[in-house]
Amino acid sequence: MRKQMVFVIDMKRCIGCDTCVVACKVENDVDTGRFRLKVLDSHRDPIFEKPKGNYPELSQHWLPTMCHHCVDAPCVSACPTNTLWRSDDDGLVHLDVDKCIGCQRCDEACPYDALSFDAETGAADKCSACAHRVAEDLAPSCAVVCPTRAIHFGDSLDPESKVSHLLATREHKVLAESRGAKPQIYYLEP
Amino acid sequence: MTEGKAPGDCLVVVGGGQAAAQLVEVARQNGFAGQITLVSDEEFLPYQRPPLSKQYLNGVHDTDWLLYRPREFYSKFRVDALLGRRVEEIDRENRRVKMNDGSILAYDKLALTTGTRARMLEVPGRDLDRIYSIRTIADVERLRPQLPSVKRAVIIGAGFIGLETGAVLTQMGIDVVLLGSSTRLLPRIVAGDMAEFLLDQHLKQGVEVVLNAQVIAIDQQDDGQLTVHVAGGGSYAGDVVLVGIGAIANVELAEACGLQCDNGIVVDEFATTSDPNIVAAGDCTNHPNPLVGRRIRLETVHNAVEQGRTAGATIAGVNLPYIQTPWVWSDQYKFRFQSAGIAEGFDTTVLRGTVGSGKFSVFYYVEGKLLAVSCINQPHIFAAVRRILNGQAELKPEEAADPLFDLSRVQSKMNYLEFDIPWPTKEEKGRRLTWGHD
């Protein structure tokens, strides 16, 4: 049966601990200096975190972001070699690294800065939603390790799924919606 | 995929390369809801040509691996693919095309992605058996069964096809003679240290490279071997001869129906031809490139994909100008060559890195202005310089030459992640905490 796997991230719960970042790097053996997942702060900075506003009117939230597995993925359209492709079975954007020619057109096309590149070959890398784990009915590592249960992953076409419930009951947005890529990471209100 | 009102009801796409697939995809994504018919004289759905002289030639991958979009794509995007069929004539007045079987297809919008065909030798003996070009799957299918019995191959042409094919055949244990008509390899693309590096790599692998070789005839010996004769008296024998001497734009259909053509089908930045109901994309077009400063015709995958995208948007009534820096790549032996921009007309080259390390870049300048870069195993330099060229930012030669100068800072990526409509502020939410649990 056709699925549309999505991430739902609860900004009210995320505390910016970066445990998901570490788990992603360990699970997927991501090189030093490269990321499949970043956690940005209120100023969209992944490193120097600071709240928004002036005391006492301060606010702070974090934004875990990775490949948004867009329905109309600009990276898929820009890729000249079909390295990046979107599966109709699970709705995820997959990457066949052996087809990659290191042109980095996907990097220019992606509105979410979701790709990184091998320094030697230029081969692209990005979040696969831990496809190897999902194939075994396991959740992506970022969702498993999140200590505040801020990251959810599931099938939005299944009305019984947790992600469907969250999207039906909580206010949510996607990042940079006007770019028209139809991203599949939904952020619940902070 | 967005459904919407189509500006025209029926789109006919002539040609079945990557530009065609990209065009129909983007037309659909931008709301073109009418009927789409894709006509290709090849028996295959749009596929990638670059691997023909690389991974497909050496048999690593099959035909399906080459497909630019999977078979399901065409049903999902509601595209009728007429394969092995040819458009013979375009009737612009009545908006219809005549097929080679005599049938007629009506169109509201027409897209020409007719591509190029391999340039053939114009010398005696050019029609002998076992002379091949590598332009289509069918070309490779004819050549590949011969390869196990080939001990020596003569390749005519020192462009990408010639070099890549030479590399693959050498790695298969076949002796290769490479005949180039110019004084260096890739004469239209590179110069200086880069040309010397490429030559050195092929010589090290045992390729016999002959430059300044003007082929004047090919004949067949009694033992069946082919002999290629060059001006000045040289002769080079081989079991097969491969010809990679460039390509010719397929503009005959466009010319015959009165579309403006001049070294390709003349289009504007929206891929529209001199007939507003007809777009054209890919190798067959002569298009303006403001970044290069003149009209150009390109035979690159990037051009096919990106101009195909523009043409598809135009079909759907969306303006998406095609203004991008041209780029190419080539994988040979264990190195990756990447080039951005057009070096033609350069007066100075600047080397960054050392040739001996196998990781270096050559920058091409004219009167202090950066024109292009070509890189060996330096993908990050290639990407940074392409951004610089796209942004028309300044890069001084001394900066280009300095390995410590961070090129990525010259033209940064402009992505800034934000929600289109920000979440309500604390005040707007009635001084409620904006984080933590309710």
Which residues make beta-bridge pairs with A75? Answer: none
Distance (Å, whole) CA B422 – CA B238: 69
Q: Which helix (H) or strand (E) holds A19?
A: helix A19-28
Q: Which of A66, A105, A182, A188 to mutate to test the interface with B (most CBs of B within 10 A)?
A: A105
Q: Which of A59, A60, A120 sits opposite B377 (nearest CB)?
A: A120
> In B, which residues are within 8 Å of A177 by CB distance?
419-420
B50 → chain A, closest CA residue = A81
Assign B287 to helix, strand or coil.
Answer: strand
Mutate to test the interface with B, among A104, A174, A185 (most CBs of B within 10 A): A104
Compute the nearest-CA separation of B281 from chain A (Å): 15
Alpha carbon distance B89, B254 (integer Å): 9
Quick check: A22 pLDDT over 70? yes
Q: What pairing do the DSSP bridges indicate for beta strands B240-243 and B131-133?
A: parallel
Q: Which two tokens stand for residue B61?
A: 């991958």
Nearest by CB to A112, from B417, B425, B434: name it: B417
What does the pLDDT look like over A43-74, one tens digit per residue? 888 888 888 888 888 888 899 999 999 999 99
Average pLDDT, chain A: 93
B286 Cβ under 8 Å from any chain A Cβ: no
Model confidence over B141-169: pLDDT tens digits?
A: 999 999 999 999 999 999 999 999 999 99
Listing DSSP states for B371-396 in one string gives EEEEEES-HHHHHHHHHHHHHT----
Q: What's the confidence (pLDDT) of residue A56?
A: 85
The domain limits of chain A are 5-188
Give yes or no for A138 touching B (CB within 8 A).
Answer: no
Question: Strand B278-280 vs strand B294-296: parallel, antiparallel, or unpaired?
Answer: unpaired
Count of Cβ atoms closer than 10 Å to residue B213 Cβ:
22
Contacts of B403 (CB under 8 A, 6+ apart): B352, B353
Fold of A5-188: Alpha-Beta Plaits (3.30.70)
Nearest to B249 by CA among B127, B121, B113: B113
CB B312 within 8 A of CB B271: no
Q: Say if CB A93 and CB A84 are below 8 A apart.
A: yes
Please name the residues in contact with B8: beta carbons below 8 A apart, sequence gap of 6 or more: B32, B34, B107, B108, B109, B277, B315
Packing angle, helices B192-204 and B160-171, rounded to 10: 30
Choose, out of A41, A103, A110, the residue to mutate when testing the contact with B (most B CBs < 10 Å): A103
Put simply, the answer to whether A103 touches B338 (Cβ < 8 Å) is yes
**Torsion sign across C-alpha atoms B86, B89, B92, B97:** negative
Q: What percent of chain A has pLDDT over 70?
A: 100
What distance in Å separates the CA atoms of residue B365 and residue B373, rounded to the nearest whole number? 9
% helix, strand, coil for chain A, step of 5: 25, 20, 55
Residues A11, A63 contacting (CB under 8 angstroms)? yes
Which of residues 51 through 80 in chain B touch A, CB cutoff 8 A? Answer: 67-70, 72, 76
Q: Which of A59, A106, A47 is closest to A81 using CA atoms?
A: A106
- CB distance B380–A176 less than 8 Å? no
- Residue A33 is predicted with a pLDDT of 86
Low-confidence ranges of chain B (pLDDT < 50): 1-7, 433-438
Q: Report which secondary-structure segment, H or E, holds B407.
A: none
Pairwise CB contact (< 8 Å): B415 & A111: yes
CB contact under 8 A, B379 and A85: no
Distance from CA of B32 to the nearest CA of A (A): 15
How confident is the model over A81-102, as a mean pLDDT? 94
Any residues with CB less than 8 A from the CB of B219 and at least 6 apart, and which? B124, B125, B128, B226, B227, B229
Percent of chain A's residues with pLDDT above 90: 80
Any chain B CB within 8 A of the CB of A89? no
Contact between B170 and B191 (Cβ < 8 Å):
no
pLDDT number for residue A48? 83
Q: Extract the tokens encoding B142.
A: 């004819």
pLDDT in tens, A170-181: 999 999 999 999
Check if the beta carbon of residue B34 is closer than 8 Å to that of residue B8: yes
Q: How many CB pairs under 8 A join A and B?
A: 116
* B312-321 per-position pLDDT tens digit: 999 999 999 9
